Structure 1
Amino acid sequence: MSWIHPISAEVEETAETLGGKGHGLVVLRRLGLPVPPGFVIGTAACRAFLRDGRLPEGLDAELADALSGLEAATGRKLGGTERPLAVSVRSGSSVSMPGMMSTVLNLGLTGAATSALAVETADPRFALDSRLRFLSSYATEVLGLEQETLAAIAQRAGTAVVVRDVEDAIRARTGEPVGEDAARHLERAIAAVFSSWDAPRAITYRALHDIPADLGTAVTVQAMVFGNRGDHSGTGVAFSRDPNTGEPVPFGEVLFGHQGEDVVSGRSLTSLLRELAEREPAVWASLLDALERIEAHYRDACYVEFTFEAGQLWLLQVRPGRLVGRAAVRVAVDLADAGTIERSEALLRITPQQLRQVRTPRIAPDDAADLLARGLGASPGVAVGRVATSADSAARMAAQGPVVLVRPETSPLDMHGLAAAVGIVTSRGGPTSHAAVVARSLGKPAVVGAAGLTVDAAAGALRVAGRTLPEGTLIALDGTSGEVVVGRPRVVDAGPDPRLHRLLAWADEVVGEGGDFERGKPESGEFGRDDFERGETGPDDFERDEAARLTAAQAVLRRSTTG
C-alpha cells in the first residue's frame, strides 16, 4: 500500500484519499497554476495511526523517498547548512474543517539552517522571524506548550530575545532542547497533525456539521514560500465573489510582509484585497487569472489562500466558496442565467438552511440604538444575547439563554464557545479571519475588527470609549452593517430578494404545481403585510413554505436522476 502521493497533475486519487486540501492542490496543478512542490500523506495513514497509536509500517521509508524527491525538486535540503529547505505541514480532511487541526510552519529551520538562510538572503531579520514562527507552531502543536505562555513571551522586546526565550520554554517543558534533527521534527509534526483529528475542537466541529468521525485527515507537506520576505512579499485570501452578497467581484484581504497564519488568526491589521492591485500589479493580474480559471473549473464561486514571495504568486489552498443565504442564491441564479450551470443544478445547490438565511434581518436604520462599536460585517444576520468574554464563559452561560461571544480574535481553541454562542464579535481581524470563516460555516452572525473595543477576559468585561460593560450585558450585533449595540434594538426584515423569487419559480415549474402550493398566496412566495397584521402568519411561515417548495423540487430532480 502506498501511503504517500505526490502533488501532481497526474495523480488520480480523490479527496477521500488526499483530503480536500491535497486534492485541491492537484486540481490547481491540472489547471497550470503555481503551487509549491510537495506531497500528501493520505487519510488511510491517519486512520492507521489512530487505530495503532503510531505511524504505520512502511511510512518512514516512503517519507524518506518523498523528502528526497522534494529536496531534488527545490535544490534545497531539509535542515541544510546551505540552501536550507523549510516545509509546511498541514492537515486536510475530505470535508473542510477550517482551523480545527494542527499546522506546523517553517519546519526545517533548525538553528544552523536559520543561519544559512540569513546568509543566503542577506536578511537576518527575515530568517530569525521565520525561525520564531517554526518554534512557536512546533511548541504548541507538537510539544503541547500553552498559547498563553508563548503570547506572554512574544511581548518581550526583540526577535532574538523572543526566540531564545521560546527555546528556553521548550527546554523547561520537555527537559531537552528542540534539537537540530529536522527529519525527526517532520515525523513528530506528522504524528501531531494525525492526533489533532481527535482534538476537542475538531470533535465539536464534526458534531456541529455531521462529519463522520472515521474519515481521518491527510497531511500535506510542501516547500515553504515566504510571505514575510521583504517589501514585495505577502499573503492573503481571496473569494472570486463577495461571500456576503454574491456580487461577482473579487473579495478578500491581503497582508504585506507576513505569513498566512497572520491573516487567518485575525491578529494583524489587514488591507482590502484591492490594495494588491496598486502595490503588486503583476501579482494582482496573476491572481485574477487564477480566480477566473478556478471558477470556470468548479462552475461555482471559489476561495483561495495565496502567498507571494518577491513578486511571485503561489496558491496554497482552493475550495468552492461555501457562501451563505442571499449570496448562495445569487451565485446559483447568476450562474444559471449565464448558462454555466443548468437551472436544475442551481436548485440542487441551495440547502434549506441557506434558504432560511435569505431573509437576513437587519437592525432598523432608524432605530435609536445605543451604538457600542462598529466593525466589519463578516456573516449576515442579527444576534442578541448576553456578553461572554471567553469560550468557557459562553459555553457555561448559554445554558441560561443566548450569548454573544466577544473576543480579541478567535482560534480553534474557542470552538466550544463559538458553537454555544448565537453571534460573534472580535475586536481584531477581517472578513476572512478564523472568526468570520467559522461564523459563516455555522450560519451565525458575526462582526470582526470592531474598532476601539477592548476585551478583558480576566476581568470579564468589555471596554470602549471610556465605558465598561460586564459579562452578562445584553448586546446585539448586525452581521451586515457591522454595528454592535447595547440592548435589544428594533429589527427589520432585509426585504424581498428577486433572485429568490426566480429560484422558487423554477422550483414550482419542476414540481408542476405553480404558485405557493395553491394556497392563495402570491406567486413570489411571499405573504402580504396584511397577513402579519391580522396575526395569521409570521416569518416562520415564509421559511416553511419556501423550504417546502425547494425540497419538493429537489426530490423530483433526484428521482429523475436516479431513475
Structure 2
Amino acid sequence: MSTRQKKSASAKGRKRGAVRGGKRAPKYVYFFSGEGAEGSAEMRDLLGGKGANLAEMANIGLPVPPGFTITTEVCALYDRKTGKYPPGLEQQVEDALKRLERIMGKGFGDPSNPLLVSVRSGARVSMPGMMDTVLNLGLNDETVEGLAAASGNERFAWDSYRRFIQMYGDVVLGLKPASAKEADPFEAIIEEKKEQRGVRLDTELTVEDLQDLVAAFKDLVRKKTGRAFPLDPREQLWGAIGAVFGSWDNERAVAYRKLHRIPEWWGTAVNVQAMVFGNMGPDSATGVAFTRDPATGEKRFFGEFLVNAQGEDVVAGIRTPQQITRAASRAWAKERGISERERARLYPSLEELMPECYRTLTKVAAKLERHYRDMQDLEFTIERGRLWMLQTRSGKRTAAAAVRIAVDMVNERLISRAEAIARIEPEQIDQLLHPSIDPRASKTVIAKGLGASPGAASGAVVFSSEEAVAAAGRGEPVVLVRVETSPEDFSGMVAAQGILTARGGRTSHAAVVARGIGKPCVAGCEALRIDYAAGTMAVGDTVVRQGDPITIDGSTGEVMLGRVPTVEPKMSGHFATLMKWADEVRRLGVRTNADTPKDAAVARRFGAEGIGLCRTEHMF
C-alpha cells in the first residue's frame, strides 16, 4: 500500500455515501449550489482548496454555478494504470449529475438542451497552473446544434466546441508540443486559418471558420492517436476526471511540490461544475481579480478581463486583457503611449463597459476579503450581464506585497500582530534583501512591458525551459524569454533569474507563477518579436541572440541590453515595522557571519546584534 493510500485509509469521521452490496460506501462526492453546500472552508484537506472555497462561497450566498467535488481521497485510491476507481464512486457521480441536471433544467448529453460542465483540479494549497482543466465538456456533433439553438448564438456554440476539442486533446489525449520549440498543433491550425482569412484575432473568425477548425481538430486527433475523438459525454467526463487526477503527478506539479515542500500523499480533488459562458458575445466576459495589488500590496482592487472570452484566454495571455478599473486602465494606456480617446474606444475598463457587474464584483471582493481575512485571488465570468464567481483563494503575492498586506491588515484590525508575523515565510524575507537596478547606472532600454513581479534580473537569454534548467545546472544565470509561458515552463522559470514574455498581463500565468516563486518578471512586452527556431528576439532593428546578456526590471517593466548594475535594498517602511513586531516577541538573538567592515555594516543595518562568526583568514 502506498503512502497516499495509507493516509487515505486512516481518514476518520468521514460521511457515508452510496449503498453497495448491502454496505454504504464512503462519501466521495460533495455537492454545492445556490441553496448551500455539503462542504465548507474547513474541509480543504478533503475537498481541496478550490472545492472548499466553492462550498464556502455557496454557503455565504455568493453567485456560484452549481457542481460537485470528488474528494482528495479518490486521488490516492484511483489506479492510474487500469483506470479503476473505488467502488461506489461512479454511482455517487451519477447521482450528483442528476441533481445538477435538475437544478440547471438541462440534460447531460441532451441534444436539444445540453448541460455542459467544467472539470478542474484543486489541491488543499493553491498550485496555480500546475494541474489540468477541461472546459465545455459534454459537446459533440449533436449537442453543439442544441447549444446553438438554446442560446440563439451559433458562433458561440461552435467556438465552445472547438475550444473543448482543443483542451480535451491537450489534457486528456496528450496532444502537446513535443518540445518547447514546436508549436502547439491546435494553435498552428488556428493560425493557419486566420492567415487564410486575413484576420488577427480568434474573435474575427466566422461560424464557418469555426466549423472548419472543429473538423480539422478531429482529423488531427485521429491522425495522432489512431482513434476518433470521443463523442459520448460520459466517456468524455471520466476521461477528464482521470486526466485531472493524473495531473497531480505530472512533471510541473511534482517540481512545484518539491519547491514548496508539499507532500505527495495530499493528492488533488476534482471539481465538476456547470459551465457559465464568457464567450456569448459583447455582454459576456471573463476575468481574474485581486482584492489588493499582488505586486506591491497596495490596497486597491486590481484585475484584468476579456470580453467574449473564456477564462483560459486571460491566464494564457493569448489576447491582451483589459483592466477592471478605470484608473488602472488609464495607467495601462499611459505606459503604452495610448491616448485617452483611443483607450476609451478600444480598451475600456470593466467599470466603464459593464458598470453594474463591476459594482457587484467589488462588493463580492470586499465581502470575501473580510470573510477570509486575507488578500483574495478571484476568478469570475459574466454571462449575458450576470456575474458568476468561479473561484476564490488566498492570492499569490511578492515578498514586498506580503509584508505590506500583513502590516496593513493589522492596522485595519483584520488580523493580529502575531498572525501578521506568522504569515511571512523566511524565504520571503530573503527575497526582500535582493538588489534592484541602480538608478545612477547607465542603461540601454530596448523595450518596455508590464512590471509583473518586482526585482532586477540579469542573465543570458534562453528561449526554452529545458535550456534554462541546463544552464542553471552549469551555474550560468539566464533570463527565460517566451512568447507566453505555459504550465510546462515551470521548471525553467524556477531555474531562471527572471522571466520575460511578449504576451499576457499582470494576471497571466507568467506573472502569477513568478510572484509565487519570487522571480522578477516583465510580461506583455508586445514590441518583442521572438523567433524560437532562429534563437532570436528583436525590437525594431535591435536583435538579441540566445546567449546574449540582458537585464529586466520587474518593477518598471524595462528590458535592457547587457548586465546593468544593481543596488542593495534598505530596511524601512512596512518591512521595518514587521521586523520591530518580530523583535518584540522573539526569544532568539541574531548575530552575523562577517569578516569585513562592509559585511558588518550591512548586517548591522538589517538588525544583527553582533558578530557570531568571524574568519580572520578572510581579512588579510
TM-score by length of 1: 0.91
Q: Alignment length, in residue pairs?
A: 534
The answer on 1:474 being equivalent to 2:536 is: no
Offset from partner CA, 1:405-435 (integer Å, 9 cap, x none) = 0000011111221121111110000111111
The answer on 1:14 being equivalent to 2:65 is: no
Alignment correspondent of 2:14: none
| Superposition deviation, residue 349 in structure 1 | 1.3
Offset from partner CA, 1:313-363 (integer Å, 9 cap, x none) = 111111112322221111111111122111111111112222223345332
Alignment correspondent of 2:345: none
Residues 485 and 73 of structure 1: is their aligned pair in 2 closer, same or farther, counting only changes over 3 Å? Answer: same
Identify the match of residue 432 of structure 2 among 358, 361, 380.
358
Q: Is the 8 A contact 2:571 2:605 kept in 1?
A: no
| Superposition deviation, residue 310 in structure 1 | 0.7
Q: Which moved more, 1:451-460 or 1:259-268?
A: 451-460
Alignment correspondent of 1:230: 281
Q: Is the 8 A contact 2:80 2:242 kept in 1?
A: no
Residue identity matched to 2:190? A
TM-score by length of 2: 0.83
| Superposition deviation, residue 177 in structure 1 | 2.2
Identify the match of residue 315 of structure 1 among 361, 367, 389.
389
Residues 432 and 145 of structure 1: is their aligned pair in 2 closer, same or farther, counting only changes over 3 Å? Answer: same
Within-5 A mapping of 1:141-540: 141-147=171-177, 148-157=184-193, 158-274=209-325, 275-359=349-433, 361-400=435-474, 401-511=476-586, 534-537=597-600
The answer on 1:118 being equivalent to 2:148 is: yes
Residues 164 and 42 of structure 1: is their aligned pair in 2 closer, same or farther, counting only changes over 3 Å? Answer: same
Give the RMSD, CA atoms, in angstroms: 2.2
Residues 254 and 80 of structure 1: is their aligned pair in 2 closer, same or farther, counting only changes over 3 Å? Answer: same
SS at match of 1:340: coil
CA distance in 2 between counterparts of 1:162 and 1:406 reads: 30
SS at match of 2:192: coil
CA distance in 1 between counterparts of 2:364 and 2:434 reads: 32
Q: Is the 8 A contact 1:156 1:162 kept in 2?
A: no
Identify the match of residue 57 of structure 2 among 13, 16, 28.
28
Q: Is the 8 A contact 1:476 1:485 kept in 2?
A: yes
Q: Is the 8 A contact 1:388 1:403 kept in 2?
A: yes
CA distance in 2 between counterparts of 1:456 and 1:301 reads: 38
Q: Is the 8 A contact 2:30 2:38 kept in 1?
A: no
Alignment correspondent of 1:555: none
SS at match of 2:266: coil
Residue identity matched to 2:29? I
Residues 369 and 5 of structure 1: is their aligned pair in 2 closer, same or farther, counting only changes over 3 Å? Answer: same
| Superposition deviation, residue 490 in structure 1 | 2.1
CA distance in 1 between counterparts of 2:38 and 2:152 reads: 38
Residue identity matched to 1:45? V
Residues 190 and 384 of structure 1: is their aligned pair in 2 closer, same or farther, counting only changes over 3 Å? Answer: same
Q: Is the 8 A contact 1:50 1:194 kept in 2?
A: no
| Superposition deviation, residue 532 in structure 1 | 13
Residue identity matched to 1:149? P
| Superposition deviation, residue 114 in structure 1 | 0.6
Offset from partner CA, 1:169-196 (integer Å, 9 cap, x none) = 1122233322431011101110111111
Residues 33 and 366 of structure 1: is their aligned pair in 2 closer, same or farther, counting only changes over 3 Å? Answer: same
Offset from partner CA, 1:345-398 (integer Å, 9 cap, x none) = 111111222222334533233432121221111111111111001112112222
SS at match of 1:537: helix
CA distance in 1 between counterparts of 2:360 and 2:31 reads: 25
Residues 199 and 544 of structure 1: is their aligned pair in 2 closer, same or farther, counting only changes over 3 Å? Answer: farther
Residues 455 and 541 of structure 1: is their aligned pair in 2 closer, same or farther, counting only changes over 3 Å? Answer: farther
Q: Is the 8 A contact 1:227 1:235 kept in 2?
A: yes
Long gaps (5+) in structure 2:
1-25, 178-183, 194-208, 326-348, 612-620
Long gaps (5+) in structure 1:
522-530, 549-563
Identify the match of residue 59 of structure 1 among 76, 79, 89.
89
Q: Which moved more, 1:534-543 or 1:137-146?
A: 534-543
Q: Which moved more, 1:241-250 or 1:536-545?
A: 536-545
Q: Is the 8 A contact 1:376 1:430 kept in 2?
A: yes
CA distance in 2 between counterparts of 1:133 and 1:9 reads: 30
Residues 130 and 335 of structure 1: is their aligned pair in 2 closer, same or farther, counting only changes over 3 Å? Answer: same
Identify the match of residue 79 of structure 1 among 86, 103, 109.
109
Q: Is the 8 A contact 2:80 2:246 kept in 1?
A: no
| Superposition deviation, residue 9 in structure 1 | 3.3
CA distance in 1 between counterparts of 2:596 and 2:451 reads: 31
CA distance in 2 between counterparts of 1:250 and 1:532 reads: 47
Offset from partner CA, 1:94-121 (integer Å, 9 cap, x none) = 1211111111110011111111111122
| Superposition deviation, residue 135 in structure 1 | 0.4
CA distance in 1 between counterparts of 2:300 and 2:390 reads: 21
CA distance in 1 between counterparts of 2:219 and 2:603 reads: 58
The answer on 1:131 being equivalent to 2:161 is: yes
Residue identity matched to 1:120? A
Offset from partner CA, 1:25-50 (integer Å, 9 cap, x none) = 11111221111000001111111114
Alignment correspondent of 1:527: none
Offset from partner CA, 1:10-69 (integer Å, 9 cap, x none) = 425611111111111111112211110000011111111147742222211111111111
| Superposition deviation, residue 533 in structure 1 | 10
SS at match of 2:530: strand
Alignment correspondent of 1:556: none
Residues 391 and 74 of structure 1: is their aligned pair in 2 closer, same or farther, counting only changes over 3 Å? Answer: same
Q: Is the 8 A contact 2:460 2:478 kept in 1?
A: yes
| Superposition deviation, residue 124 in structure 1 | 1.0
Q: Is the 8 A contact 2:438 2:565 kept in 1?
A: yes
CA distance in 1 between counterparts of 2:595 and 2:382 reads: 54
Residue identity matched to 1:324? T
Residues 368 and 533 of structure 1: is their aligned pair in 2 closer, same or farther, counting only changes over 3 Å? Answer: farther
Q: Which moved more, 1:78-87 or 1:235-244?
A: 78-87
Q: Is the 8 A contact 2:39 2:56 kept in 1?
A: no
The answer on 1:104 being equivalent to 2:142 is: no
Residues 51 and 234 of structure 1: is their aligned pair in 2 closer, same or farther, counting only changes over 3 Å? Answer: closer
Residues 296 and 362 of structure 1: is their aligned pair in 2 closer, same or farther, counting only changes over 3 Å? Answer: same
CA distance in 1 between counterparts of 2:595 and 2:148 reads: 69
